[in-house]
Amino acid sequence: MKPSLVIVGSIGLDTIETPREKRVEVLGGSVSYACAAASFFAKTGMVGVVGADFPTEHRELWERMGIDLTGLQTEEGKTFRWSGVYEENMDNRETLLTELNVLEKFSPELPETYRDAPYLFLGNIHPALQLQVLEQVRSPKFVLIDTMDFWINTARDELINVVGKCDMLTLNESEARLFTGKKELNEAAMELLTMGPKFVLIKKGKKGCELVSKEERYILPAYKLESVTDPTGAGDTFAGGIMGALAESGKLDEKSIRRAIVYGAVTAAFGIEEFGLERLAELDREQINARSEGFVHID
């Protein structure tokens, strides 16, 4: 079965330290989290690169989750590494180490079976690579793009170009302000809409998220958890869940988009209960449905 959703991004081995525990070389990366989340809803194709040192058990995990790995490249060299330490509040973190390794020369190429996929998520990588992927799909129905402060600062023009070709942009509050120069979040969101996307989805951490279009504004609170184990990849899991739910429904009306955002938020909440993909690996759709139904009602 051909993937109805294609996701491109980074794949990494993360060393993560929280106030309570430290884990070394946990499976991570934007495409890894996003594909795992999307796999509960739709057939998902992965586009990324790993080194020759990438552990076989991680590939096997993705395969068990039903993720299509035809678009996964393996190159000589080492897999991307990242290391970070979280503060007590689990909101702020310090990056200790970033080793791009094979990611530095990553040139994404979509298999033929991916090029007609109606849904596409451009994970957080260089805007030039996001555009390279976008130009390889024939007629996508809906494209979500993610970014970060680094690209806003270093590749602004390229980022504006590719954002204008997408249906939804997602970023956090500080990134929205940085990108637009607007202090008020509402003004920043409206400015981002002038760049071309139909929707702007602003991630607000423990405050939830806000979806903005020219016609509507939808605010969703965060799903409340008693404790958080590892917030790494929460935004990617959120986005992957959204896109998976949209691909499953095949609809893009207001109600369907709001429902997809709820599914994304709930899946992300599950994900941060354990390190890396550990919680998602043991999760099932029934648990997602049950938590979603008890979270918020969508008219």
Q: Please say if the pLDDT value at position 299 is more than 60.
A: no
Rg for the chain, CA atoms, rounded: 18
* Segment 197-224 mean pLDDT: 94
The answer as to whether 239 is a domain residue is yes
In the chain, the amino acid numbered 66 is G
Q: Structural domain of residue 270, as residue ranges?
A: 5-171+231-289
pLDDT of residue 110: 97
> Distances from the Cα of 141 to the Cαs of 3, 30, 39, 131, 293, in angstroms?
14, 22, 19, 16, 27
What pLDDT is stored for residue 227 in this prediction? 86
pLDDT at 298 over 80: no
Give 128-137 pLDDT, tens digit per residue: 999 999 999 9
Tell me if 83 is assigned to some domain.
yes
Instruction: Note the Cα 210 to chain centre separation in Å.
Output: 16
pLDDT band per the 50, 70, 90 thresholds, residue 121: very high
Q: What is the pLDDT of residue 257?
A: 96
Residue 187 lies in a domain: no
Q: What is the per-residue pLDDT for 206?
A: 87
Measured CA to CA, the distance from residue 291 to residue 224 in angstroms comes to: 11
pLDDT of 74 > 60? The answer is: yes
Per-residue pLDDT tens over the stretch 236-291: 999 999 999 999 999 999 899 999 999 999 999 999 999 999 999 999 999 999 99
Q: Is residue 161 part of a domain?
A: yes
Query: Tell me, what CATH number does 22's domain have?
Result: 3.40.1190.20
What is the structure's pLDDT at 181? 97
pLDDT at 166: 98
Q: Is residue 216 included in any domain, yes or no?
A: no
In a domain, 188, yes or no: no
Q: How many whole angstroms separate alpha carbon 71 and alpha carbon 46?
A: 6
How far is it, in rounded angstroms, from Cα 237 to Cα 263? 10
- 299 within a domain of the structure (yes/no): no
Task: Count structural domains, the chain.
Answer: 1
Three-state SS at 12 = strand
pLDDT at 230: 95
Structure tokens at 103: 């990611």
Q: How confident is the model at residue 90 (pLDDT cuts 50, 70, 90)?
A: confident
Q: How far is CA 231 from CA 86, 153, 175, 266, in A?
A: 9, 24, 18, 14
- Looking at the chain, the whole-number percentage of residues with pLDDT higher than 70 is 99
Confidence at residue 92, expressed as pLDDT on a 0 to 100 scale = 85
